[in-house]
Amino acid sequence: MDLKPLITLLAIVNPLAIVPFFIHYTQGFSREQRQRTIRTAALSSFCVIAACALLGLQILEFFNISLQSFQVGGGMLLLISAMNMLNAQPAEAKPHTHELEQGAEKAAAGSSIAVVPLTIPLLTGPASMSTVVIYADRAQTLWQHVALVGYGVVIAVATALCFSLAEPIARVLGKTGINVMTRLMGLILAALAVEVMAEGLGKLFPVLVTR
């Protein structure tokens, strides 16, 4: 079984790096409210990954976008995410943090923050969505598609686990430990991003492929 899609998704989603955001956005929540937020965020992340795995290619076809172009664009998003992670920022880096805080305040007054901003865009943003679509195209059998959806379950479980242990993790690792982990995942993601872009460019411009 090819575990590269799972490793890539774990590097991009990196729920450990979102733990500080989870703690911030759930301040003042009761234990029951926090548990409900964790369940919703985990389920939402699975739904996003499963939808991209099952319908992503059809969406590309609808908009008449070639997978090769999507690979290059997706690889660039992965590389940008990796660079942000190397600077100890979340994989789906958000330049408008203040806007996210305002969105969280509005969510606390009405809709759940588990979907926005925790799941989208902090956990499953453009980079993770494009990655799932790229690997969905590579899947040649039914079981490979099932495995890709199954990786979404793993991501959901990892998200629920990290969020459930948010406070102990934050105390044990501290800010420095979380930053080190984020940079390590960013380095791995950068290498995977180059590989994805190289494959897409090789298909778009065959002359670049050495014989």
pLDDT in tens, 37-91: 999 999 999 999 999 999 988 988 898 988 788 888 888 887 887 887 787 655 4
Q: Is the pLDDT reported for residue 4 higher than 50?
A: yes
At a CB cut-off of 8 Å and minimum separation 6, what does 148 contact? 5, 53, 132, 135, 136, 139
Residue 23 and residue 170 in contact, taking contact as beta carbons nearer than 8 Å: yes
DSSP string, 71-112: HHHHHHHHHHHHHHHHTT--SS--S-HHHHHHHHHHHHHSS-
The mean per-residue pLDDT over the stretch 24-47 comes to 88
Residue type, position 19, single letter: V
Q: What are phi and psi of 176, to 5 degrees?
A: -65, -45
- How confident is the model at residue 29, as a pLDDT? 83
Domain ranges in the chain are: 4-204
- How confident is the model at residue 176, as a pLDDT? 82
Neighbours of 154 (CB within 10 A): 14
- How confident is the model at residue 103, as a pLDDT? 46
The mean per-residue pLDDT over the stretch 24-38 comes to 85
- How confident is the model at residue 108, as a pLDDT? 46
- The string of pLDDT tens digits covering residues 84-142 is 778 765 544 444 445 555 544 544 432 478 887 788 878 987 788 888 998 998 888 88
The mean per-residue pLDDT over the stretch 175-188 comes to 79
Q: Is the pLDDT reported for residue 21 higher than 90?
A: no
pTM of the model: 0.72
Mean pLDDT is lowest, of 59-63, 161-165, 177-181, for: 177-181
Dihedral (Cα; 123, 58, 195, 139), 10-degree rounding: 100
